[in-house]
Structure 1
Amino acid sequence: MKGFYKLQWTLLAAVMLTSCSKHFLDEDTSGFLAPDNTFINTAGFNAGMTGLYAFARLEFQTWNNDIFSQGATPQEALQAGTDIVAIKTTGTDATLAPFSNYTLNPASSYVRNYWKFSYGLIANANQLLAALENPAISWTDPENDPKLVKGTAAFFRAYAYRYLVTLYGDVPWVDKVSVTPRTDFVRDKKEDVLQMMINDYRTASGNLPEDADGVADGKLTKWAALHYLAEAYLMAHKPDSAIIAANAVINSGYFHLNDQRFGAQKSAPGDYFHDMFIENNQNRKSGNQETIWAMQLDFNTLGGGDRYTDWSKRAWVPFYAQQAGFLLADSLGGRGLGQIRPYKWWLDSYKPGDVRNSEYNIKRHWYYNDPSSPLYGKELVLTDAIRASGNVFETTTKFFYGKTSVDPAFEGNMKDRVKARLAETYLLLAEAYLQKGNTGSAATAINVVRARAKAPLASAGEINTDYLLDERARELIGEEMRRMTLFRFGKEVFYQRVQRNEQSKGVYKDFNWLWPIPQEVIDANTGAPFAQNEGY
């Protein structure tokens, strides 16, 4: 897997303004793997799809790779500066601060890296789609093999553009492999890119397998494509189409909300919501019938992750080992650094009886665990100063992950990462009804999620944008990339929600709704004007 990922990056992944050189095209590639001698049969295309999955996982990779090589927690840049979290005030990862205090600029780390990641994934997808045009391919299953390749590549291209239009707005739509370097890209309108994303998701849904039980863990199905298609329709303000796509997933018969204990630890203390976030419980074979798509990041498994994969634990788990009287422990989440801390409004938003607010799902009470401490066994009295330090604070347990018996300083969070689950599909359905002004149907969709959580049901009169965004936080905190959700609701809502962030509300400007275009992209595009986003 890792070897092929490197092959993919070397041979296929062109970052926006680069492409295969003429010299490379003239080489004799018969002695090593290259597109012209790999994409000639089913096995070669399977290797190419494996490379797509590997490249897509880079969004959670840290340090030790060619994309997110400048920081430890790239995905937390999509949480910082929103309504949901504060960043650690001292000793924080320096790459996160610009996204909280809104000093980001065209040279900021993740501004550049998300662009590279997205266009690298697009280049890989385009390479496979172009190779499909060869009429001489030797297919094992001529009817289904080409469909799987087409559906997989179309999905990942749309998935990459999902990041681009959300973070940068108008971006070039690139759907062809350039045989010579280009320096004349122009920015296509976000609305046009969204329509082409929709086309890709529709292509994916029509070509990917339907049987969610018949695919290997982590592989895409038509239902994952339809879930993201519903989201894309919402971004394009096409709620009727979003309703059709979301309902197709909901009514497929393959998925249901987990409301019973499952998995290897189902007899241990806990609850059915917590079960979804226990190691090895992310895929269908564990009994999890809610997952629509899970990236395979499991630690030290074939096709999974390593110690540099998904350091979300460093962000969401407090740095309690730095607090006097505390020792590292798996039961406390392992080695966290407390880089981001959920805001109190989220903690206070749950109603009594809500399972998502149980002691298994939110860690509110911290007890000294160092036997040598005179305070051993007593509860730490949390103060605002302790919380702000990142040492100890109330937080979600979704990213608790140990391995201290192997390495007390183990950084990672190498559980498989659920990217799409049915609860969110219901909330996308509610969002579509809300776009139409149908608060009654929106409440019905939301109440399916709340009923599973044993929370009081919402009335139609309660439903508005704030209620839905609060409900997404209650259900999906840490799972959704909050910046991307707020963007979908528009510039005004984005601004209003940032006012809940004490660190960001005084420095956020209207243009911060978008990130700047990386400066090297503008500098390299000498053949056509390439405007910077407003304000940068």
Structure 2
Amino acid sequence: MKKIIIAFLGITMLVNISCTKDLDTDPLVELTLEELINRDPNAVQGIVSRLYGSFALSGPDGPGSSDISDDAGESPFLRGIVNLQDFTADGIKNRWGDDGLDQLTTTTNWDENNKFFRYLYNRIYYTIPQCNNLLSVLDNVDTEGKEQVIAEVRFLRSLAYYYLIDTFGKGVLATEENFGSSAPLPEATRAELFAYVESELLDVVETLPDSNDYGRANKAVGNMLLAKLYINAEVYTGTDKFAEALTSINKVITDGGYSLADSYVSIFSADNNTSPEIILPLIADAVTSQSYGNTTYIVNGSSSSETMTLADYGLTDGWGGHRASKGWYGLYGDLETSTDERASLFFTEGHSYEMNDYKTWTDGYPPIKFRNTNALTPSTAPTPFSSTDFPLFRLADAYLMFAECAVRTNQNLGEALGYVNQIRERANAEPISAGDLTLDFILDERGRELNLEGHRRTDLIRFGKFTGSTYLWPWKGGVLEGTSIPDTYKLFPIPLQALEANPNLKQNNGY
């Protein structure tokens, strides 16, 4: 019987693991799963909850603990998504410049030594072996709802692989079948990883429940990830699957039971756990789920007492790091006259419209889209950490994915127009006509609606706007006005330590 890992302070999966080592784990305390269940009938559910937590928390023992041998504050999974998806794109920049962030903010000179690439790679290859560990023992034990548990764990493993496919393009295919192997695993190509994740999701989506506890996967969550895989299939494999993406996303919309929130701001407030729009959140709590890598990174990082009253956003600490550029707020036109509610979610007082120096706090507007105050209920006192859940998947994204696939396949255009206008009407923006529903409009609307939610780099690549000079934004290529960057940058380099640990891994082209 394989061993499952537990440690003090409840059921966790605390391990001393790095993707630069082997893909097995080094248990602190060993119990068979059967023994663990005898001690605590809820053991399996606790372990599954810990797997979900691996996407938002740094470790099991508070914000200073880490599941991996990287910095607990800098390395959490969600923080890596924001760093690599949003800072590298057009809408938001970071001013700290510490040891690699400048490379991301300016899309220049990044290489395999950048620690932020290592952080995300390590987090991916922390979650995947933990899923494999649990799956390797579940077949041999009896536990309530085992088939659903297996489906959820396979979904979480697929979610981790999805980010590997999107950011690095390749790695090793670690499953419960080769879990514990001491020999370096062979390199798996992007197409091979895509095929594996596609097959996994197709196999488990019907086993996932129609509804589930808040923060856990159901059928809509599984179909949402499948649709994201399909909508990017042309980038990942060279073969488009927009029709398949349309089918999957339609299931999310029609069968999921979700609806747009009445208030846009409520989706990004501390009481957003009541939102009818969020399909899959990464849960945060200022007391019980503290992390420097969940929405605390976004809310605190986008605030500073230098120009802002922190208590207005539910904060006691402002880190003064992130500001939007006109690549984001420029999408709304004149912010002073725009009726679009989303255009008001930037702090402008004392700040300059132009980001002439991305390291100057007052150049560019801090985004106040995410905040640690309640929107629908009375707010509590300001806290050092955020209680705002991160909407990893939400319905407005599904609507815009539907619209994009409809335009690309030239079908269901009437429905697509209706979905887009529901989003715009919620924001008090002018509705559009059928002739306005173009791919360029959809890309801009995704920026207006979804920026700072971990999508932008992937969107720009899919629309052919990330590399080259077709679309320029402030500080692209390290130049104020923006300049061309090579196609190499559509993938990040495989971290040096991963290459050194596994001779079967080869660096991505161009690095």
TM-score range, shorter chain: 0.7 to 0.9
Say if 1:337 and 1:390, in contact at 8 Å, map to a contact too: no
Per the TM alignment, residue 278 of structure 1 is displaced from its structure 2 partner at its CA by: 2.0
The answer to whether residue 347 in structure 2 is matched with residue 363 in structure 1 is yes
Query: How far apart, CA to CA, are the structure 1 residues paired with 2:138 and 2:381?
Result: 45
Say if 2:132 and 2:176, in contact at 8 Å, map to a contact too: yes
Q: Which moves more between the two structures, 195-204 or 71-80?
A: 71-80
Query: How far apart, CA to CA, are the structure 2 residues paired with 1:59 and 1:426?
Result: 32
SS in structure 1 at match of 2:393: strand
- List per-residue Cα deviations over 1:350-378 (Å, max 9, x = no partner): 26422322x4x3333x3xxxxxxxxxxxx
1:506 to 462, 479, 483: 483
- List per-residue Cα deviations over 1:410-441 (Å, max 9, x = no partner): 3x333122211110111111122233255945
- Normalising by structure 1, report the TM-score: 0.78
Query: How far apart, CA to CA, are the structure 2 residues paired with 1:456 and 1:394?
Result: 24
Structure 1 match to 2:370 = 399
Query: How far apart, CA to CA, are the structure 2 residues paired with 1:500 and 1:386?
Result: 12
Per the TM alignment, residue 495 of structure 1 is displaced from its structure 2 partner at its CA by: 3.8
Structure 1 match to 2:407 = 434
Structure 2 match to 1:255 = 258
Q: How does 1:318-397 map to 2 (within 5 A)?
A: 318-319=303-304, 321-323=305-307, 328-331=310-313, 335-350=317-332, 352-357=338-343, 359=344, 361-364=345-348, 366=349, 380=350, 382=352, 384=354, 388=358, 389-391=360-362, 393-397=364-368
- Measured at CA, do residues 453 and 407 of structure 1 come closer, stay the same or move farther in structure 2, by a change above 3 Å? closer
- Measured at CA, do residues 253 and 132 of structure 1 come closer, stay the same or move farther in structure 2, by a change above 3 Å? closer
Query: How far apart, CA to CA, are the structure 2 residues paired with 1:387 and 1:333?
Result: 26
- Measured at CA, do residues 385 and 8 of structure 1 come closer, stay the same or move farther in structure 2, by a change above 3 Å? closer
Query: How far apart, CA to CA, are the structure 1 residues paired with 2:37 and 2:296?
Result: 34
Q: How does 1:396-475 map to 2 (within 5 A)?
A: 396-401=367-372, 410=384, 412-438=385-411, 440-441=413-414, 442-475=416-449
Per the TM alignment, residue 274 of structure 1 is displaced from its structure 2 partner at its CA by: 1.4
Say if 2:310 and 2:318, in contact at 8 Å, map to a contact too: no
Q: Note the residue ranges of structure 1 that are not aligned, 5 or more in a row.
A: 260-271, 367-379
Per the TM alignment, residue 462 of structure 1 is displaced from its structure 2 partner at its CA by: 3.0
- List per-residue Cα deviations over 1:369-400 (Å, max 9, x = no partner): xxxxxxxxxxx474757984114743432223
Say if 2:467 and 2:485, in contact at 8 Å, map to a contact too: no
Query: How far apart, CA to CA, are the structure 1 residues paired with 2:252 and 2:444?
Result: 23
The answer to whether residue 13 in structure 2 is matched with residue 8 in structure 1 is yes
SS in structure 1 at match of 2:187: coil
- List per-residue Cα deviations over 1:182-216 (Å, max 9, x = no partner): 444332221221122122222332122113xxx33
Structure 2 match to 1:533 = 508
Say if 2:171 and 2:187, in contact at 8 Å, map to a contact too: yes
Say if 1:317 and 1:335, in contact at 8 Å, map to a contact too: no
Structure 2 match to 1:242 = 245
Tell me which amino acid in the other structure corresponds to 2:216: K
- List per-residue Cα deviations over 1:87-142 (Å, max 9, x = no partner): 32xx44444112123222212112111111111111111122222321xx2334xx
- List per-residue Cα deviations over 1:246-295 (Å, max 9, x = no partner): 11111126111122xxxxxxxxxxxx211222212x22xx3x21111112
Per the TM alignment, residue 489 of structure 1 is displaced from its structure 2 partner at its CA by: 3.8
The answer to whether residue 104 in structure 2 is matched with residue 99 in structure 1 is yes
2:86 to 65, 79, 83: 79
Say if 1:111 and 1:516, in contact at 8 Å, map to a contact too: yes
Say if 1:63 and 1:70, in contact at 8 Å, map to a contact too: yes
Per the TM alignment, residue 461 of structure 1 is displaced from its structure 2 partner at its CA by: 3.3
SS in structure 2 at match of 1:341: strand
SS in structure 2 at match of 1:420: strand
Tell me which amino acid in the other structure corresponds to 1:78: Q
Query: How far apart, CA to CA, are the structure 2 residues paired with 1:195 and 1:489?
Result: 22
Tell me which amino acid in the other structure corresponds to 1:49: V
Tell me which amino acid in the other structure corresponds to 1:117: R
Say if 2:327 and 2:474, in contact at 8 Å, map to a contact too: no
Structure 1 match to 2:117 = 111
- Measured at CA, do residues 16 and 121 of structure 1 come closer, stay the same or move farther in structure 2, by a change above 3 Å? farther
Tell me which amino acid in the other structure corresponds to 1:423: A
Query: How far apart, CA to CA, are the structure 2 residues paired with 1:440 and 1:385?
Result: 38
Tell me which amino acid in the other structure corresponds to 2:386: N
SS in structure 2 at match of 1:448: helix
Task: Say how many residue pairs are matched.
Answer: 476
Query: How far apart, CA to CA, are the structure 2 residues paired with 1:458 and 1:250?
Result: 21
Fraction of identical pairs, as percent: 22
Tell me which amino acid in the other structure corresponds to 2:267: M
- Measured at CA, do residues 449 and 439 of structure 1 come closer, stay the same or move farther in structure 2, by a change above 3 Å? same
- Measured at CA, do residues 192 and 315 of structure 1 come closer, stay the same or move farther in structure 2, by a change above 3 Å? farther
Say if 1:355 and 1:455, in contact at 8 Å, map to a contact too: yes
Tell me which amino acid in the other structure corresponds to 1:499: L
Tell me which amino acid in the other structure corresponds to 1:139: T
Say if 1:257 and 1:422, in contact at 8 Å, map to a contact too: yes
Per the TM alignment, residue 16 of structure 1 is displaced from its structure 2 partner at its CA by: 6.7
Query: How far apart, CA to CA, are the structure 1 residues paired with 2:341 and 2:14?
Result: 43
Query: How far apart, CA to CA, are the structure 2 residues paired with 1:2 and 1:299?
Result: 23
Query: How far apart, CA to CA, are the structure 2 residues paired with 1:179 and 1:347?
Result: 47
1:300 to 260, 263, 287: 287
- Normalising by structure 2, report the TM-score: 0.82
SS in structure 2 at match of 1:251: helix
Say if 2:281 and 2:391, in contact at 8 Å, map to a contact too: yes
Q: Note the residue ranges of structure 2 that are not aligned, 5 or more in a row.
A: 1-5, 234-239
Say if 1:4 and 1:51, in contact at 8 Å, map to a contact too: no
- Measured at CA, do residues 98 and 311 of structure 1 come closer, stay the same or move farther in structure 2, by a change above 3 Å? farther
Tell me which amino acid in the other structure corresponds to 2:287: N
SS in structure 2 at match of 1:197: helix
- List per-residue Cα deviations over 1:52-83 (Å, max 9, x = no partner): 11222247997642445176453323212212
Query: How far apart, CA to CA, are the structure 2 residues paired with 1:109 and 1:413?
Result: 25
Structure 1 match to 2:191 = 191
User: Max radius of gyration: which structure?
Assistant: 1
Per the TM alignment, residue 310 of structure 1 is displaced from its structure 2 partner at its CA by: 3.7
Say if 2:92 and 2:452, in contact at 8 Å, map to a contact too: no
Structure 1 match to 2:158 = 158
- Measured at CA, do residues 335 and 133 of structure 1 come closer, stay the same or move farther in structure 2, by a change above 3 Å? same
- Measured at CA, do residues 177 and 115 of structure 1 come closer, stay the same or move farther in structure 2, by a change above 3 Å? farther
SS in structure 2 at match of 1:56: coil
